[in-house]
Structures are given as structure tokens and as C-alpha cells.
Homo-oligomer: A and B are copies of this chain.
Amino acid sequence: MRSFPAEAESLADIREYVRGLAQIARLPERTTEDLVLAVSEACANAVVHSGSSSMQIAWRPGPDRVEIEVRDQGLFRNRVRLPTVDGPGGFGIPLMAALTEEVVIEEGTRRRPGTTVRLTKRTERP
């Protein structure tokens, strides 16, 4: 588990960090880049929406999949975007879903804040 400041400037470091872990796990280039983008999106959300000062990344490789968790200490902000009012956006979560096999978002509660985004990516052909 590694912690980064919840700032936009951390995103490049986080991508380097994930690329390094993927290299150790010998993931193919394409799998790696999908995962790097998905994690970058989850972290960008923690930066923009969580109000948390830091965010944590946990990497859990398995035999045929890797699970990667992005955690912050903020409150998930449920909202429905209106295109005419909010402008273009709302791409992050659908992108994560398209780039990985599973996205689970655990919202905290007002008493126990903290959002956890768990991404699962298959690392072998199904």
C-alpha cells in the first residue's frame, strides 16, 4: 500500500508506480496501459471530488488477475450530471468499467467516510 498526496501533480508519479508494478508482474503492454489509465482516472476523481488530502493505492496480484484499490478519506458525492448544465464529463467511471473486468465502488458513510474504488483486471486470456 502506498500513499500519495491527493493532488493532480501526483498522477504522473502514480502512473509510474503502477507501470513499475506491472513490469514486475510481467503484464503485457496493453493490459498495463489499460490498468494505468483506469487507476489514473480513479485517482483523478479522488483529487477532484473527495476533498481528501491523500489517497492510497494497493496492488494485489493474483494468478490470472490483478486487483488494484484506490482509497481516499472523503465522502463519495452522488450526483447525476445534466449535460446542458454541467457540460461534457462523467467519463471517468464508464471508462474504468470499459478498461477493466470489474469496478466496485464502496462509498463510506457520514460516520465512516472514505471511498474505495476496486478495479479488477484479467491478466490472462479468458
How many angstroms from the CA of A126 to the CA of B112 in the assembled complex? 11
Copies in the complex: 2
The stretch among A44-52, A58-66, A78-86 that forms the contact with chain B is A78-86
Tell me the interface secondary structure of chain A in the complex: loop
Q: At the interface, yes or no: A5 with Cβ under 8 Å from chain B? A: no
> B107 to A81, Cβ gap below 8 A?
no
> B126 to A97, Cβ gap below 8 A?
no
Query: Which of B78, B80, B81, B94 is in CB contact (< 8 Å) with A78?
Result: B94
Q: A78 and B98 in contact (CB under 8 A), knowing A110-B126, A126-B111?
A: yes
Q: A109: which B residues are within 8 A, CB to CB?
A: 126
> B106 to A80, Cβ gap below 8 A?
no
> A95 to B80, Cβ gap below 8 A?
yes
Q: A110: which B residues are within 8 A, CB to CB?
A: 126
What 10 A-B pairs are tightest by C-beta distance, nearest first? A83-B83, A78-B98, A80-B94, A78-B97, A80-B91, A83-B88, A109-B126, A80-B95, A104-B104, A80-B98
